[in-house]
């Protein structure tokens, strides 16, 4: 098996040739086609298609009355609401202007020289590490294994690379949709505890998993060297509002992270939303009902298209492979936007990601894919 250093030298060089881009750039597509933005079907961003929770609109409108007042920089009500939902203490909770800001703060809190990320995975991890001068190593995931992560093999390699003190993982991983089993995460946490490493675990999509996979938050112990990153963006469909949070029970990690916190990083409207988001019980149930039906249905439909290879996923998006390197552009001409994954380390232009949406939109996606790939004329 190749050493991590070899992975790093190969993959970092390839990755830096590409600019990181994200899904959801429908304004550019609408302008390109000279059509209203509402006419673009966006499968590139993994946002809950149910939209904003309707029973929280009044709460949000009422929060406008507070825009002339600074929010409490300690955010006691927001932290208490999150802590109550996860059955942790309020001082275990840190909040920020989206998960990316909280992630940035956790990285800055740990004075590291080297970090490990998966390949492929969300590109912001590498960007944030490099911004503070931390060298990035990659743990390569392989198509033949459906891009699953062999945690025990990772641990064995980490034993030989003591310079790597931060391990940053996503479960479910983006763009592969693969989840890391809790028992494997616990083994990794135990390794980190014993060898003074830090695990940063991004669970941004854990609430959007089929059959509601368990969070590592439920397994956290007081001495665990772990930051768990969560986001309200995806599940509650609020990418324009920005609200992320971090949970750790480790006293030393909390002290280090407290130093990095920005003042008033959560605006007053997002603060009020976060205080109330877990009260949207009907919306939460409807979301899980939608996902448990539509996710496997779309997977089965994509599997039936011979011209693509779709990989199994536990969450609300799928990675697939196609020999048509212009597939994204062809779909744009049909007013459908998907995510090309050529900027992910370890992937190329032949890999694409699509979000799970409502039944009619999913049917339209499959039908158009077949048409573009020559299955239907």
Which among 128, 95, 132, 96 is positioned nearest to 112, based on CA atoms?
Answer: 132
What is the distance, to the nearest Å, from the Cα of residue 313 to the centroid of all Cα atoms in its chain?
A: 13
| Together in a domain, 322 and 221 | no
| Together in a domain, 292 and 339 | yes
2 within some domain = no
293: part of which helix (H) or strand (E)? helix 281-303
Which among 267, 316, 315 is positioned nearest to 98, based on CA atoms?
Answer: 267
| Residue 223 near residue 250, CB atoms below 8 Å | yes
Helix, strand and coil content of the chain, in percent to the nearest 5, comes to: 45, 15, 40
278: Cβ contacts below 8 Å, ≥ 6 apart: 81, 82, 84, 85, 284
| Together in a domain, 243 and 288 | no
What is the distance, to the nearest Å, from the Cα of residue 200 to the centroid of all Cα atoms in its chain?
A: 13
| Residue 293 near residue 273, CB atoms below 8 Å | no
Total domains in the fold of the chain:
2
**C-alpha dist (Å) from residue 177 to 147, 205, 223, 227:** 9, 9, 29, 21
CATH of the domain at 80: 3.40.640.10
- Whole-prediction pTM value? 0.92
243 within some domain = yes
Please give the chain's pLDDT, 377 residues, in tens: 334 443 443 334 444 444 556 666 788 888 888 888 888 899 999 999 999 999 899 999 989 988 899 999 999 999 999 999 999 999 999 999 999 999 999 999 998 999 999 999 999 999 999 999 999 999 999 999 999 999 999 999 999 999 999 999 999 999 999 999 999 999 999 999 999 999 999 999 999 999 889 999 999 999 999 999 999 999 999 998 999 999 999 999 999 999 999 899 999 999 999 999 999 999 999 999 999 999 999 999 999 999 999 999 999 999 999 999 999 999 999 999 999 999 999 999 999 999 999 999 999 999 999 999 985 54
How far apart are alpha carbons 60 and 93 in whole angstroms? 22
DSSP letter (8 states) at residue 113? S
Residue at which a domain ends, from 211, 244, 279: 279
Range of the domain at 224: 69-279
| Together in a domain, 91 and 38 | no
What is the phi/psi pair of residue 23, to 5°?
Answer: -75, 170
Beta strand pairing call for 317-322 and 336-337:
unpaired
The confidence score (pLDDT) of residue 212 equals: 87
DSSP letter (8 states) at residue 239? T
Residue at which a domain ends, from 279, 300, 319: 279
**C-alpha dist (Å) from residue 193 to 40, 102, 249, 374:** 48, 22, 13, 54
| Together in a domain, 29 and 144 | no
């Amino acid at each position: 098996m190749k050493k991590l250093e070899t992975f790093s030298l190969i993959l970092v060089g390839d990755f830096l040739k590409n600019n990181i881009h994200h899904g959801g750039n429908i304004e550019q597509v609408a302008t390109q086609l000279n059509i209203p933005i509402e006419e673009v079907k966006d499968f590139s961003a993994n946002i809950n298609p149910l939209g904003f929770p309707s029973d929280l609109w009044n709460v949000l409108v009422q929060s406008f009355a507070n825009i002339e007042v600074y929010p409490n920089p300690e955010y006691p009500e927001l932290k208490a609401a999150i802590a109550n939902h996860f059955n942790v203490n309020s001082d275990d909770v840190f909040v920020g202007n989206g998960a990316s800001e909280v992630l940035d703060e956790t990285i800055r809190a740990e004075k590291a020289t080297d970090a490990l990320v998966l390949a492929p995975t969300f590109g912001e991890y590498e960007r944030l590490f490099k911004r503070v001068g931390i060298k990035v190593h990659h743990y390569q995931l392989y198509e033949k294994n459906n891009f699953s992560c062999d945690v025990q093999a990772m641990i064995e390699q980490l034993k030989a690379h003591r310079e790597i003190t931060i391990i940053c993982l996503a479960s479910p991983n983006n763009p592969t949709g693969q989840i890391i089993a809790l028992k494997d995460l616990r083994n990794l946490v135990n390794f980190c505890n014993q060898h003074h490493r830090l695990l940063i675990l991004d669970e941004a999509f854990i609430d959007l998993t089929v059959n509601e996979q368990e969070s590592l938050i439920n397994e956290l112990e007081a001495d665990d060297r772990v930051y768990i990153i969560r986001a309200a963006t995806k599940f509650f469909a609020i990418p324009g509002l920005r609200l992320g949070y971090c949970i750790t029970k480790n006293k030393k990690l909390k002290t280090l992270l407290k130093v990095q916190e920005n003042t008033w990083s959560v605006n007053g409207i997002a603060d009020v939303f976060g205080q109330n988001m877990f009260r949207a019980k009907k919306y939460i149930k409807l979301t899980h009902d939608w996902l448990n039906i539509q996710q496997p249905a779309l997977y089965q439909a994509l599997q039936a298209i011979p011209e693509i290879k779709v990989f199994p996923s536990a969450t609300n998006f799928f990675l697939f492979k196609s020999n048509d390197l212009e597939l994204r552009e062809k779909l744009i001409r049909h007013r459908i936007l998907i995510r090309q994954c050529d900027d992910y380390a370890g992937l190329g232009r032949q890999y694409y990601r699509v979000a799970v949406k409502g039944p009619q939109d999913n049917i339209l996606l499959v039908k158009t894919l077949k048409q573009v790939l020559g299955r239907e004329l």
